[in-house]
Amino acid sequence: MSSHTVRETALDLLLSIKKNHAYSQLALNDALLKSHLHDRDKALVTTLVYGVLQRELTLEYALSSFVRKTRKLDDWVRILLLMSLYQKMYLDRIPDHAIVNEATNIAKKRGHRGIAGFVNGVLRQFLRSGEPDLSVIQPENRRLSVQYSHPEWLLELWENQWGRRIALQIAEADNRAPHLYVRVNRLKTTRQALAEKLALEGIATEEARLSPDCLTIQGGQAAATEAYRAGLLTIQDQSSMLVADSVAPAPGMTILDTCAGPGGKTTHLGERMGNKGKIVALDLHEHKTRLIDDAARRLGIRIIETRAIDARKANEVYPEKTFDRVLVDAPCSGLGVIRRKPEIKWEKTKEDADRLTPIQYAILEAAAPLVKPGGWLIYSTCTINRMENDRLLTRFLNDHREFMWEPTFFSRLPRKLKDYRSSPQSSMVQILPFYFETDGFFIGCLKKKET
């Protein structure tokens, strides 16, 4: 396939993500699985799509130096120009003439001669003038927003909660390419055997740093492998695999997963339980419970019972003191997965995050009575917002004296995570994306007192 096709594929994907509010990760995986592109070309498509979404604000600022009203451009023309600027500003192996020629040819094909001439002229002017000087942007909050390509409200939120240095480290990490991790299915194989199987299918891996069930994929489409179809692996970020370590499921337990779709953590619990015991998996949406069922079938897990129920009403459906473990993997603002889904930072608002905290708290309230005495309540999110994480869980503990911090929490996690505990006496950890090049993730664990 020609590089022309590569750029058109990237352009189509970016348009789809923007217009349809599609998740970049899902749109990319779907498109690349269906395409006949070579692996090298697939890698370039991925780089272009993620790169433009990650650096959009910086690219828009650069483009505005040459086009006064960028928002008045047709979407495809604007994105084509942003994609071209990205190649010049952030990639070092693409010659200037190739950037201009490819963009001009696409413009000729999609538009008319005038559009092609406009695109050609803008790019040649950019190549002559070079990148704009970001240091002149005032005030400083606006400059940092453009420089790190994050909305001002989000940098301000993180600065208020973590300090400016950490806020900028988070933003910097968000703009790096995400790693692809897979989880070994212990019911069917071992990490070593899976690595060897994937190597035979042309996919290189290495053992990951945090989870004993995790491999880092070095290149290739893991979802297209026979190993995937045979249920030997699940695609999942390494940080979220730590939920299973936190829950510590054992064969014979009865476990409730209150917000389980699409089933990554649920199936991990089932694998750890050796298909012995029972997992009740709830989700508000029926299509997500079907995804859990599909995943369980592929992986060979037989102990998961799914139900489409609002988790805030779980205590109306199940008797008190029913479950050994209750997992609340709460719906959240998703600010920890921006590296993997960069469109989140442009679509979410602070009000969105604020609206979620009452829902998260209501789910915890409904889950609390269902935990057996001596059992555990585990709370997790994939966000980096303390109002949804440590502050919410601390408030819950203060309101529910029947719970305490679960004292063995950190003994079940990698030793290095003790350095990132949310407070000295607590059983909570906040993983930021620059710590281990994973998604940002929060986990806390409470124990219901025996009496």
What are 24's two structure tokens?
A: 């970049």
Are the C-beta atoms of 342 and 13 separated by less than 8 Å? Answer: no
Are the C-beta atoms of 450 and 374 separated by less than 8 Å? Answer: yes
327: three-class secondary structure by DSSP: strand
Are the C-beta atoms of 86 and 48 separated by less than 8 Å? Answer: yes
Q: What is the spatial distance between Cα 89 and Cα 161, in angstroms, rounded to a whole number? A: 32
Please identify which of the residues 214, 332, 382, 445 carries the catalytic annotation. 382
Whether 259 is a known active-site residue: answer no
What are 292's two structure tokens?
A: 């859990």
Residue identified by tokens 């600027």 is 85
Q: What is the spatial distance between Cα 239 and Cα 242, in angstroms, rounded to a whole number? A: 6
What are 223's two structure tokens?
A: 């979802």
Residue among 139, 211, 167, 199 at smallest CA distance from 384? 167
Backbone angles phi, psi at 448, to 5 degrees: -80, 130
CB atoms within 10 A of CB 300: 16
Are the C-beta atoms of 280 and 255 separated by less than 8 Å? Answer: yes
DSSP 14-61: HHHHHHH---HHHHHHHHHHH----HHHHHHHHHHHHHHHHTHHHHHH
Q: What's the residue count for the chain?
A: 451
Are the C-beta atoms of 21 and 347 separated by less than 8 Å? Answer: yes
Q: Looking at the annotation, which residues are catalytic?
A: 382
